[in-house]
């Protein structure tokens, strides 16, 4: 697979849980990043069925008057059922390799951000939901949130808020994630 290029992306799905209770949780970093992306383009979210959507349009080539438009999607079905948005994207003719999923990554330290293609879900139930419907061949931006020392604490950890130095640096890393998406 070639390198990530925003010109090939038609939909960006941010993973998270709906509601103010979860708003600042580690597990909601996907929502936070697509919210920042929408805000940067002045886009407004619209609730449709079981997800929120908006669209951003990029000027990728000054010689080309046509803009490249991308759907931003936030599933409102809770993390474990994130894949329910796939039927909407399929009806729009969007293929798996034209999708970028933004999610939290336990296996990376806080603030480590990677864009890659394919791979396993590594136990991430939002990714499992999507993979069960379209397979594993889609783009991902993995935002490192670190891992608790005890495996038994993972469920509570991902549903906890960022704190201390992480909370202070969070906006910087969210902005860096958006820049990575747009610059590649």
The band of 49, judged by pLDDT with boundaries at 50, 70 and 90, is confident
Average pLDDT over every residue of 84-107: 96
Domain for residue 65, yes or no? yes
3-state secondary structure (DSSP) of residue 62: coil
Whether the predicted pLDDT of 64 surpasses 70:
no
pTM of the model: 0.95
Whether the predicted pLDDT of 123 surpasses 80:
yes
Higher pLDDT, 65 or 139: 139
Cα–Cα dist 84/156, whole Å: 24
DSSP-derived secondary structure letter, 78:
-
Q: Note every long-range contact of 88-96, with CB atoms under 8 Å and residues 24 or more positions apart, other chains counting.
A: 88/48, 88/49, 88/51, 88/53, 89/10, 89/11, 92/10, 92/11, 94/10, 94/11, 96/134, 96/135, 96/137, 96/138
The predicted pLDDT at position 67 comes to: 85
CATH code, domain with 46: 3.40.50.1470
Average pLDDT over every residue of 106-135: 94
- Segments forming the whole domain that contains residue 76: 6-183
The band of 184, judged by pLDDT with boundaries at 50, 70 and 90, is low
Domain for residue 85, yes or no? yes
Tens of pLDDT along 162-179? 999 999 999 999 999 999
Lowest mean per-residue pLDDT among 33-37, 66-70, 104-108, 135-139 = 66-70
Lowest mean per-residue pLDDT among 54-68, 102-116, 127-141 = 54-68
The predicted pLDDT at position 63 comes to: 59
Which residues are tagged catalytic?
A: 27
Domain for residue 143, yes or no? yes
Q: Give the count of domains, the chain.
A: 1
Q: pLDDT over 70 for what percent of the chain?
A: 96
């Amino acid at each position: 697979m070639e390198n990530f290029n925003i010109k090939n992306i038609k939909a960006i799905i941010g993973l998270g849980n709906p509601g103010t209770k979860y708003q600042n949780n580690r597990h909601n970093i996907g929502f936070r990043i697509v919210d920042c992306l929408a805000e940067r383009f002045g886009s407004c979210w619209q609730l449709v069925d079981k997800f929120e959507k908006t669209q951003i349009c990029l000027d990728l080539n000054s010689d080309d008057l046509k803009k490249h438009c991308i759907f931003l999607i936030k599933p409102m079905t809770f993390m474990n059922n994130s894949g329910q948005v796939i039927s909407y994207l399929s009806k729009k003719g969007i293929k798996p390799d034209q999708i970028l999923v933004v999610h939290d990554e336990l296996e990376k330290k806080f603030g480590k951000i990677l864009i890659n293609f394919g791979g396993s879900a590594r136990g991430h139930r939002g990714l499992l939901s999507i993979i069960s419907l379209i397979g594993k061949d889609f783009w991902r931006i993995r935002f490192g949130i670190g891992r608790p020392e005890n495996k038994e604490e993972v469920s509570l950890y991902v549903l906890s808020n960022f704190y201390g130095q992480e909370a202070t640096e969070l906006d910087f890393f969210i902005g860096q994630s958006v820049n990575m998406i747009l610059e590649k």
